[in-house]
Amino acid sequence: MTIAVFPGSFDPLTNGHLDLITRASRLVDQLVVVVGQNTAKTGVFTPEERMAFIQQSVQQLPNVTVRIESGLTVDFMHAMHATVLIRGLRNSTDFEYEQGIAGMNRHLDATIETVCLMADARYQFVSSSLLREVAKFGGDLTGLVPPAVATALQARLGSGN
């Protein structure tokens, strides 16, 4: 059985993330989406809120589970008996960033394979920081995030807050 891990901060969860989760779930027996804490970023939503958004959005995918983790991804993968690490790429900047992470993970455990999926063209311009900026000024998030996430973002960051 092939178990894969798809880690990210998911703050906020985007339709690009959901597209990658759906596509990755077709490639493996079990996919564990891991809500992590990016120590370089300040979060809008708590890890529990992010996990709930993902769980709500992947209910139709029986081989997908969602967990929260704060340690090294490699250590989490060992605990889950996972051998594949899924990452998404939007552009060449993402590639260079992910190349460094993949190299470090390979150094830590040579049995882990990193598989990068290209973002769908509809979502290549979408980033969490851009979405937070759009939400802050009341912009339209339709088609970029799940409806529940759009509502929560507007409530948390919208004009006047």
Assess if residue 148 is contained within a domain.
Answer: no
Assess if residue 146 is contained within a domain.
Answer: no
Residue 87 is assigned to a ligand binding site: yes
Cα 87 to Cα 77: distance, rounded to the nearest angstrom: 14
Residue 90 is assigned to a ligand binding site: yes
CA 137 to the chain's CA centroid:
24
Assess if residue 145 is contained within a domain.
Answer: no
Assess if residue 156 is contained within a domain.
Answer: no
Q: How many CB atoms lie within 10 A of CB 49?
A: 19
Assess if residue 138 is contained within a domain.
Answer: no
Query: Across all residues in the chain, what is the average pLDDT?
Result: 93
Number of domains in the chain: 1
pTM for the model: 0.93
Cα 112 to Cα 121: distance, rounded to the nearest angstrom: 28
Assess if residue 72 is contained within a domain.
Answer: yes
User: Residue 142 is encoded by which pair of tokens?
Assistant: 């339709």
Per-residue pLDDT of the chain (161 residues; tens, 9 = 90+): 999 999 999 999 999 999 999 999 999 999 999 999 766 667 899 999 999 999 999 999 999 999 999 899 999 999 999 999 999 999 998 899 999 999 999 999 999 999 999 999 999 999 988 999 999 998 999 999 999 999 999 999 876 55
Residue 10 is assigned to a ligand binding site: yes
| pLDDT the model gives residue 160 | 52
CA distances from 141 to 9, 41, 57, 128, 145 (A): 19, 21, 16, 12, 6
Assess if residue 160 is contained within a domain.
Answer: no
Residue 70 is assigned to a ligand binding site: no
User: Is the separation of the CB atoms in 83 and 77 below 8 Å?
Assistant: yes
| pLDDT the model gives residue 38 | 65
Assess if residue 32 is contained within a domain.
Answer: yes
Cα 72 to Cα 98: distance, rounded to the nearest angstrom: 15
Residue 41 is assigned to a ligand binding site: yes
Point out the residues that are catalytic.
17, 41, 90, 128
Report residue 3: phi and psi, to 5°.
-110, 130
Terminal Cα-to-Cα distance of the chain (whole angstroms): 47
Q: Residue 109: which domain range?
A: 3-124
CATH code where residue 50 lies: 3.40.50.620
